[in-house]
Amino acid sequence: MKIERVEVIPYSIPYTHPLQFASGKVTHADHVLVRVHTDDGVVGTADAPPRPYTYGETQESISTIITKTFAPQVTGLDVFDRERIHAVLRRTIHNQVAKGALDIAVWDAIGKRLGAPVHKLLGGYTDRLRVSHMLGFRPAHELLDEALRFGETYGISTFKLKVGRRPLALDIEACHVLREGLGDGVEIYLDANRGWTANEALEVLRRTEGLGLTLLEEPCDAKEALSRRRLVDRSPIPVVGDESVPTAGDVSRELLSGGCNAICIKTARSGFTEATEILGLCTGLGVDVTMGNQIDTQVGSLATVTFGAAHEATSRRAGELSNFLDMADDLLAEPLLITDGTIRVRDVPGVGAEIDEDKLATYRLS
Ligand SMILES: [Mg+2]
């Protein structure tokens, strides 16, 4: 089953509630839908969410690198020969989101061709993933209101608080208000998106001691190697690498150099193939993993659920899966539902991201 062509469709869907955090703000989902067409009529689909302020990839760059560089080289290859496809993609460094979407679209095509759900092909560990909800920069009482509302409406009991603000007291207050208002049964962890220095992060850890926070993600720039290592050594909770570890090689470097001791896996930037390599490194070295969100659409979130539910280690913790609730619409024909705080995989061939063609026609840019 050979790749006949690769289609890129840039589209834009507005957010009803723009998400603000230390490294940026998002008002529209300016994404690219990637479709791999095969010579026997199977079409694999994936979503590519550019994050220019973090990785430098844009809607335009993703469309261009796929159309001009990757598509000509993978056209004619068999979708089952994934290692040959990746040998092509590996020649180009960076462009992780473009590569990730191509990889997921290939897996989707494989699943459809075999008549098998991709979550089964990847591992088939469980059929759902618990949902963690992300709380952006807002006054503490508004964050608490949102967390309580999401707990009541969706059954969510895990919250990631976006921090990294100055003065530090803003975030420290939010931690205390959330813990007091949510009680001990709710998991709270932090993501600073490199907003602090290592010493500021240590101060926040001191002033939130006893609150039972579970993880501290990307507290400072991982390039500040020595201070970051000092922070990791002294932190009572795992320090999670996220934007410092987009590739398996980055994961190796950061874990072995002491820059972090837990890893955030994002299928949007790793696809399923490199996410599998990253997961193997993490389980082999004995460090925790989380399934992160690249402010994904429902199409992207379904890919995260597909990978996360397929493996034991990735399904231990709640995955970040609720950002799509802030979008005005989505391309997925059958909406993702959060029930009892979980999202289920789809037991259909492929990943299960059937696209609503009318919606695509409405939101596509070309
Ligand atoms: Mg993060």
How far apart are the CA of 194 and the centre of ligand 1, in A?
Answer: 9
Q: What percent of the chain has pLDDT over 90?
A: 96
Instruction: Say whether 306 sits in a helix, a strand or coil.
Output: helix
Whole-number Å distance, alpha carbon 242 to ligand 1 midpoint, is: 5
User: DSSP string spanning 40-106?
Assistant: TS-EEEEEE---HHHH---HHHHHHIIIIIIHHHHTTSBTT-HHHHHHHHHTS-S-HHHHHHHHHHH
Catalytic entry in 47, 187, 200, 217 = 217
What does the pLDDT read at residue 38?
98
**Which of 187, 242, 250, 296 is an active site residue?**
242
CB 325 within 8 A of CB 353: no
Q: State the amino acid at position 347 in one-letter form.
A: D
d(CA 64, CA 59): 9
Q: Please identify which of the residues 99, 112, 160, 266 carries the catalytic annotation.
A: 266
Burial of 75 (0-12, 13-18, 19+ CB in 10 A): middle
d(CA 332, CA 300): 10
Residue 20 predicted with pLDDT over 80: no
User: Which residue among 191, 200, 218, 254 is the active-site one?
Assistant: 191
- Contacts of 37 by beta carbon, 8 Å cutoff, 6+ apart: 3, 4, 5, 6, 7, 43
For residue 366, the model assigns a pLDDT of: 85
State in Å: Cα 361 to ligand 1 middle.
Answer: 32
- What are the backbone angles phi and psi of residue 302, rounded to the nearest 5°? -65, -35
| Whether the bond into 335 is cis, omega within 30 of 0 | no
pLDDT (0 to 100) of residue 52: 92
Cα of 192 vs centre of ligand 1, distance in Å, is 7
C-alpha distances in Å from residue 295, one per residue of 28, 114, 135, 300: 10, 30, 12, 9
Percent of residues, the chain, with pLDDT higher than 70: 100
Lowest mean pLDDT, pick from 21-25, 83-87, 150-154, 289-293: 21-25
CA–CA gap between residue 265 and residue 296 (Å, rounded): 13
Q: Which of 99, 162, 171, 200 is catalytic?
A: 162
pLDDT score recorded for residue 180: 98
Signed CA dihedral, 143, 146, 152, 154: sign only: negative
pLDDT in tens, 47-101: 999 999 889 999 999 999 999 999 999 999 999 999 999 999 999 999 999 999 9
Distance 218 CA to ligand 1 centre (A): 6
CA of 243 to the centre of ligand 1 (A): 7
CA dihedral of 186, 192, 196, 199, whole degrees rounded to 10:
40
Q: Among this protein's residues, is 103 annotated catalytic?
A: no
Query: pLDDT tens digits, residue range 197-237?
Result: 999 999 999 999 999 999 999 999 999 999 999 999 999 99
Ligand 1 is an ion; residues with CB less than 5 A from it? 191, 217, 242
171 assigned to active site = no
CA of 259 to the centre of ligand 1 (A): 15
Rounded to an integer, the average pLDDT of 21-30 is 82
Radius of gyration of the chain (CA): 20
Type of residue numbered 5: R
- Cα(193) to ligand 1 centroid in Å equals 6
CA 366 / ligand 1 centre spacing (Å): 31
Contact partners, residue 22, CB within 8 Å, separation at least 6: 162, 163, 164, 165, 192, 193, 194, 195
Å from CA of 4 to ligand 1 middle? 36
Q: Is the pLDDT of residue 185 over 80?
A: yes
330 is catalytic: no
Confidence of residue 24 (pLDDT cuts 50, 70, 90): confident
CA of 188 relative to ligand 1 center, distance in Å? 14
List the catalytic residue out of 59, 96, 294, 298. Answer: 294
Does the pTM surpass 0.95? The reply is yes
Told to judge if 266 belongs to the known catalytic residues of this protein, a careful annotator would answer: yes
Q: How far is the CA of 294 from the centre of ligand 1 (A)?
A: 8
